[in-house]
Structure 1
């Protein structure tokens, strides 16, 4: 299956309409009538969020890149990112006290802006990694490069510093010229990797931001969370079933098959048709829910372990360390 087919099949993938305006604004700054070239944005207003389909966003980037004869278009477009292009999320993070607080909110609310592949954060020694897999398809080089570069540029805007990153990995084939990427990121940039990765020094999290306003952040937090709560949860159609089975203490293939009134073999076949296998799916859902539970300070770690279907707290701790690179207690403290 080609990349284009993969993306077109992922009809739930989208970017925020405000984020899509980034390309239109860039084209106008280059003297190009954006709507004459791309057409009016295909905006869908759903559950309080204006969004555009990912396939439309990708096509717009391809048309603009060809029109401007600018292969590394994503880097140039990303340089012009502002808070308004991230909509309410942009204003939330702009008024956080530190870069660490801002990045935590970028992780929590990223689906309001960029609902493509889920973002996962891990701490590895003295570094922080943001990772995107390919569970929901490969959106293509221009989409990936614009997305990662926009995050880096926004971090630089927030901090007021031209911060270099440690490493960037892309799943796409290498471009003809690597120099623009190395110059933009100020770091090693690799291609043809298993996942997209952005790695920055952990020390950056303590950097103060220029306009902290805890009261405004609290108001905007509630607004962003309300919007997020109204969005359909991304992932496998079996995610919700696994969450319930975890709470019941029986997150097994047999229990999932029983819930759907089929045999375990049939359940495996259905998962395979979704591009899934049971154990990786279970671990992904557990990791996602673990972070949500750990973010709630009212839950003891033993309660989190039980909610995830672990009979022993130590088993949960070992698993969480494999997922994130740190134990759950440290993850909670650092987030």
Structure 2
């Protein structure tokens, strides 16, 4: 296996090798994330991005219902509903429809706190990406990642869960932007994906997207995805410290154990990236959670919900996002959501919203 150098982004300017860095977890990243909140993380870069575009950040942040001082610390915890409002306001105040990408391209592996540090000290790029997928929920329950692959291709996909509808494209642009930065940290600065899929209409000016991703772009897609060679997952990460990795893994497990999320919400998170694939049946989800199918049903019943009800809830969320942010045809949306015919999807959407998908898309603004 090829060894690659990822030492430039270890501790935010600390040039010491990993073995000389303090083997303790910084106090600022030890706090458990309450339900409905998100660590600021990547979105800390909103402040310098606004300034770069000539907009004073504090009034915009206050208009979203947040204290500007929270943006002094990437590990500040804020309601994710407020973060969605903030992204929407930022686009409105700046007139920049790719604001999220500007935020993401400024962020680094350190923006992900404990998870980013665990990625940095993982043995291989594949272990790092799997650490992201398994543990991002300790910091961020809005962006949901998933890793799949076949025929030598890896597909790293992100979904925006329970985000304000108008902020979804910005949040996903930021996620894609920082993830490419992270992969370049781990694989080398010359790394580039094979292709990037974006669930948004193609902008008139794609220059920034092409400059940052350095790869073919496909807009109006069903998911936000980075496609790259599966061989890259085998690359070793130079300077990874096994002792630090063990400490970080232990602390993240403690955080996950103390997080106290509802079981039904965990199922929603899993479905958000899997509903548009062929691996989202109750049996598939039970297998993923390493529990019996009957155990899954029993635990959902205890929360007053059934698997089908949750599945339809997430289908409705995905359908709204694709109808509002993309020009994906109705037949394609129906197929992506598991409907054999567009008419079946139309009937279901009418039950959920009181409108046909076409009428809902035509109406436009639903916030």
TM above 0.5, one fold? yes
| C-alpha distance in 2 between matches for 1:207 and 1:142 | 30
TM-score (norm 1): 0.62
1:123/1:129 contact within 8 Å kept: yes
1:92/1:217 contact within 8 Å kept: yes
| C-alpha distance in 2 between matches for 1:234 and 1:171 | 28
Alignment map for 1:1-335 (pairs within 5 Å): 14-28=37-51, 33-39=56-62, 40-41=67-68, 50-133=76-159, 136=162, 138=165, 139-233=167-261, 236=264, 239=267, 247=291, 250=294, 270=309, 274-275=313-314
| C-alpha distance in 1 between matches for 2:115 and 2:310 | 34
Measured after TM superposition, the shift of residue 222 of structure 1 is 1.1
Pick closer, same or farther for the CA change 1:176–1:256 going to 2, 3 Å: same
| C-alpha distance in 2 between matches for 1:57 and 1:268 | 29
Pick closer, same or farther for the CA change 1:215–1:237 going to 2, 3 Å: closer
Pick closer, same or farther for the CA change 1:129–1:53 going to 2, 3 Å: same
Measured after TM superposition, the shift of residue 80 of structure 1 is 1.7
After superposition, give the CA deviation of every residue in 1:128-157 in whole Å (9 maximum; x if it has no partner): 112235664655211111111111112213
| C-alpha distance in 2 between matches for 1:18 and 1:134 | 15
Measured after TM superposition, the shift of residue 184 of structure 1 is 1.7
State which drifts further: 57-66 or 197-206.
57-66
Pick closer, same or farther for the CA change 1:31–1:207 going to 2, 3 Å: farther
State which drifts further: 266-275 or 93-102.
266-275
Structure 2: gaps (5+ residues): 1-33, 269-281, 317-367
Measured after TM superposition, the shift of residue 271 of structure 1 is 5.0
In the other structure, the counterpart of 1:46 is none
Structure 1: gaps (5+ residues): 1-10, 44-48, 278-335
In the other structure, the counterpart of 1:321 is none
After superposition, give the CA deviation of every residue in 1:16-64 in whole Å (9 maximum; x if it has no partner): 1233312224445667543244232596xxxxx7432223223323333
Q: Secondary structure at the match of 2:231?
A: helix
**Cα RMSD after superposing both structures:** 3.9
Pick closer, same or farther for the CA change 1:35–1:84 going to 2, 3 Å: farther
| C-alpha distance in 2 between matches for 1:98 and 1:173 | 35
Using CA pairs under 8 Å that are at least 6 residues apart, name the structure with larger relative contact order, 1 or 2.
Answer: 2
Measured after TM superposition, the shift of residue 213 of structure 1 is 0.9
Pick closer, same or farther for the CA change 1:273–1:30 going to 2, 3 Å: closer
After superposition, give the CA deviation of every residue in 1:53-97 in whole Å (9 maximum; x if it has no partner): 223223323333344443222222222213432111122222233
| C-alpha distance in 1 between matches for 2:239 and 2:139 | 22
TM-score (norm 2): 0.58
Measured after TM superposition, the shift of residue 98 of structure 1 is 2.7
1:42/1:53 contact within 8 Å kept: no
